[in-house]
């Protein structure tokens, strides 16, 4: 019987006297078909190594171990280590480390634990209290994950996938879409979890963009420009950029020239600009240090 079977999950938690910790976002998936859907969405095969964040009691890890070459799982809650040792005992291709994903050096862990001969994917049912920091950390890790398939709260999934012009399109959408193509794979009801979270969830698939045209020459500047442009959503791009770079006459002159060069209306709001617009804007600003 799969670990994610509701009866088995109950029995495992009871055996170890465990109650789920809300503070760690512990909502265990107890819907075996959805666990399979997640693995299928990630198109796993023996050509893939997988990083999992938050294995819990191992229900998703089991699916990953059955379908991929190697699995490395990072779990912050020490109480779960003996549980995972037992539930995953039959899988020789899984390694669990007691680590906080937000404090670990992902590039080094991956170098140390994977052979470099396989595609590297992330598959996880994320702890929702840190969804955004985890996504940003994955993207900033320097590891070229070929695919990231993660369950998150529906509302964040919608922001990740949002298109220009939408009210929820913002710096998170841009940070993700700059590197990855986003697909909302499946929405998942609260009832699939134990205990049930307050919100519905969605499985999001991110695949690495192949087109290299839209590269910001200075990625730190790109992040500053994007965040600064959305600092006050209701204000114009012009006002946000002035707040970011300073309101001197020299800045105004330089920004006027930059916006003209990239053919972007200063009066527009940031939510109208595509990822490519932000890259062009950043690169033009980078060429005009004033
Ligand atoms: N994978 C399991 C499942 O699908 O049933 C559990 C998912 S549960 C939503 C999130 C898991 O992430 C929990 O096991 C929790 O202890 C773990 N977690 C929370 N914060 C973490 C962190 N900073 N680093 C690593 N794991 C974390």
Answer with the one of 183, 208, 233 that is the final residue of a domain.
Answer: 208
Secondary element (H or E) of residue 51: strand 48-53
Best substitution site from 53, 100, 127 to test ligand 1's pocket, by max atoms within 8 Å of Cβ? 127
Give residues (CB < 6 A) around ligand 1.
24-29, 53-56, 59-60, 74-77, 100-102, 125, 127, 130
Task: Answer for the pair 122, 53: CB distance below 8 angstroms, yes or no.
Answer: yes
25 CA to middle of ligand 1, Å?
6
pLDDT, position 214: 77
pLDDT tens figures, 131-187: 999 999 999 999 999 999 999 999 999 999 999 999 999 999 999 999 999 999 999
Q: Binding site residues for S-adenosyl-L-methionine, as ranges?
A: 27, 29, 54, 75, 100, 125
pLDDT, position 69: 98
Helix axes 154-161, 131-140, angle to 10 degrees: 40
For residue 251, the domain's CATH number is 1.10.8.100
* Radius of gyration, alpha carbons of the chain: 21
Which atom of ligand 1 has the smallest separation from the CA of 27? 9
For residue 28, the domain's CATH number is 3.40.50.150
Tell me, yes or no, whether 213 lies in a domain: no
- Neighbour count for residue 123 (Cβ, 10 Å): 29
Q: Binding site residues, as ranges?
A: 27, 29, 54, 75, 100, 125
pLDDT tens figures, 30-59: 999 999 999 999 999 999 999 999 999 999
Residue 290 has pLDDT above 70, yes or no: no
Judgement on whether residues 187 and 225 belong to the same structural domain of the protein: no
Strand locations in 138-242 (E): 147-153, 180-188, 193-194, 201-208
Judgement on whether residues 84 and 196 belong to the same structural domain of the protein: yes
Residue 189 has pLDDT above 90, yes or no: yes
Answer with the one of 174, 208, 242 that is the final residue of a domain.
Answer: 208
Best substitution site from 13, 20, 21, 54 to test ligand 1's pocket, by max atoms within 8 Å of Cβ? 54
Tell me, yes or no, whether 1 lies in a domain: no
User: What is the reported pTM?
Assistant: 0.94
Secondary element (H or E) of residue 71: strand 70-74
54 CA to middle of ligand 1, Å?
3
Judgement on whether residues 72 and 95 belong to the same structural domain of the protein: yes
Tell me, yes or no, whether 189 lies in a domain: yes
Judgement on whether residues 122 and 73 belong to the same structural domain of the protein: yes
Answer with the one of 208, 240, 264 that is the final residue of a domain.
Answer: 208
pLDDT tens figures, 58-114: 999 999 999 999 999 999 999 999 999 999 999 999 999 999 999 999 999 999 999
Judgement on whether residues 236 and 121 belong to the same structural domain of the protein: no
Tell me, yes or no, whether 214 lies in a domain: no
Judgement on whether residues 225 and 200 belong to the same structural domain of the protein: no
213-240 average pLDDT score: 94
Query: What is the number of structural domains in the chain?
Result: 2
Best substitution site from 52, 76, 137, 193 to test ligand 1's pocket, by max atoms within 8 Å of Cβ? 76
115 CA to middle of ligand 1, Å?
25
Judgement on whether residues 143 and 228 belong to the same structural domain of the protein: no
Sorting pLDDT into bands at 50, 70 and 90, what band is 267? very high
Residue 210 has pLDDT above 80, yes or no: no
* Residue span of the structural domain in which 275 resides: 219-287
276 CA to middle of ligand 1, Å?
34
Judgement on whether residues 117 and 251 belong to the same structural domain of the protein: no
Closest residue by Cα to residue 255 from 237, 270, 273, 272 = 237
Judgement on whether residues 45 and 136 belong to the same structural domain of the protein: yes
28 CA to middle of ligand 1, Å?
9
């Amino acid at each position: 019987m799969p670990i994610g079977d509701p009866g088995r999950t109950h029995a495992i938690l009871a055996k170890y006297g465990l109650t789920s910790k809300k503070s760690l976002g512990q909502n265990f998936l107890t819907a075996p078909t959805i666990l399979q859907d997640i693995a299928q969405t990630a198109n796993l095969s023996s050509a893939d190594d997988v990083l999992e964040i938050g294995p819990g009691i191992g229900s998703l890890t089991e699916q990953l171990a059955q379908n991929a070459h190697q699995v490395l799982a990072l779990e912050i809650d020490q109480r779960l280590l003996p549980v995972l040792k037992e539930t995953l005992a039959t899988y020789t291709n899984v390694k669990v480390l007691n680590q906080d994903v937000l404090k670990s050096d992902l590039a080094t862990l991956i170098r140390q634990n994977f052979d470099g001969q396989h595609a590297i994917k992330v598959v996880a049912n994320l702890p929702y209290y840190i969804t955004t920091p985890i996504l940003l950390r994955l993207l900033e890790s320097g590891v070229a994950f070929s695919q990231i398939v993660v369950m998150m709260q529906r509302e964040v999934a919608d922001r990740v996938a949002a298109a220009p012009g939408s009210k929820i399109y913002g710096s998170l959408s841009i940070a993700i879409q700059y590197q990855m193509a986003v697909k909302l794979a499946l929405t998942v009801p609260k009832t699939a979890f134990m205990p049930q979270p307050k919100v519905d969830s969605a499985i999001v698939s991110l695949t690495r963009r192949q087109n290299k045209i839209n590269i910001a020459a200075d990625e730190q500047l790109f992040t500053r420009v994007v965040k600064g442009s959305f600092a006050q959503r209701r204000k114009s791009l012009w006002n946000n950029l002035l707040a970011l770079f300073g309101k001197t006459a020299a800045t105004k002159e330089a920004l006027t020239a930059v916006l003209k060069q990239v053919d972007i209306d200063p009066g527009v709001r940031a939510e109208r600009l595509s990822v490519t617009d932000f890259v062009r804007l950043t690169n033009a600003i980078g060429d005009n240090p004033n």
